Amino acid sequence: MQKRKLGKSNLQVSAIGLGCMGMSFSYGPPKDKQEMTSLLRAAVERGITFFDTAEVYGPFLNEELVGEALAPFRGQVVIATKFGFDLSGSDNRPGAAGLNSQPNHIKQAVEGSLKRLKVETIDLLYQHRVDPNVPIEDVAGAVKELIQEGNVKHFGLSEAGAKTIRRAHAVQPVTALQSEYSLWTRTPEKEVIPTLEELGIGFVPYSPLGKGFLTGKMDENTTFDSSDFRSSLPRFTQEALRANQALIKLLGSIAERKKATPAQIALAWLLAQKPWIVPIPGTTKLNRLEENIGAAALELTPDDLRDIDSAASKIKVEGARYPERLEKMTGL
């Protein structure tokens, strides 16, 4: 597996990482711990060195799983986690917890994450969502102190807009931004990606396979259990799933030409955008993990990329990414 550097930070990771959320959270009930431990270790054996978790996934279950599973590989892997939600309430649905990025809360969150991840230092610590009640300078300042104390190595933001990124970066250099980015969510291209390029910040797209849609395995008859958060997303209604099949046809036609799968084309497209982009597709299945890893070796030519962009520009993606209350938590 090739390696990539996240911006100018010298944080080197595998070209494709592994998003671990779905192992414990959001996509139905938590998966079997032993099976997920085997999968995480299989990822390391296959060259993945970048793993993404957060205290809110579970809450706490996912960090515990990742910490235990990756304990034998200390020093060989980079684990990213996130703070920023108030987890004192009992409602653990995705996005149900209120935001809390008060500096004292950040420090408490980091203490908990260090224990659960079984590490002395967090490799990459993201603010999970921008908290409108706490100036981003205070957030960056709190993380700067944690870095000076040796508890954290690198600072990241998630779903922040260009202005917020600049303000945070002026206090404590930002190593990476994590936001949703894929062939069906291209908002970051307008302001965010040029800002990252200018400042030398890496980009970690989450949901690079459109929460499973870009694998080509869903159609308008696909249904989701109420424990699967896609059941509440506008982009996963029957009408939207039907309307958005045009994207799958496009990926399928390129995949046929390249003897690959639609998912591999979607990931290879992201990798081709910038050398400092590292997508983190999530999965709970070994065959999917191997399929995703295969995308790193797939080269899209300038002609392939032109064909994809030209066809994609004619496709209007139907359905909002999130319900309104969650969309408000993104970008500033």
Cβ neighbours of residue 250 under 8 Å, at least 6 residues apart? 308, 311, 312, 315
CB 255 within 8 A of CB 264: yes
- For residues 152, 211, 24, 40, the Cα torsion angle rounded to the nearest 10 degrees is -70
Clarify whether 57 is annotated catalytic.
yes
Q: Which of 84, 77, 251 is nearest to 159 (CA)?
A: 84
3-state secondary structure of 297: helix
Pairing state between β 122-127 and 152-158: parallel
Spatial CA neighbour of 83 closest among 111, 123, 54, 61: 54
Are 27 and 228 in contact by the 8 Å Cβ rule? The answer is yes
Among residues 27, 57, 126, 181, the one annotated as catalytic is: 57
CA distances from 77 to 119, 200, 275 (A): 11, 22, 20
Query: Hey, which residues are catalytic here?
Result: 57
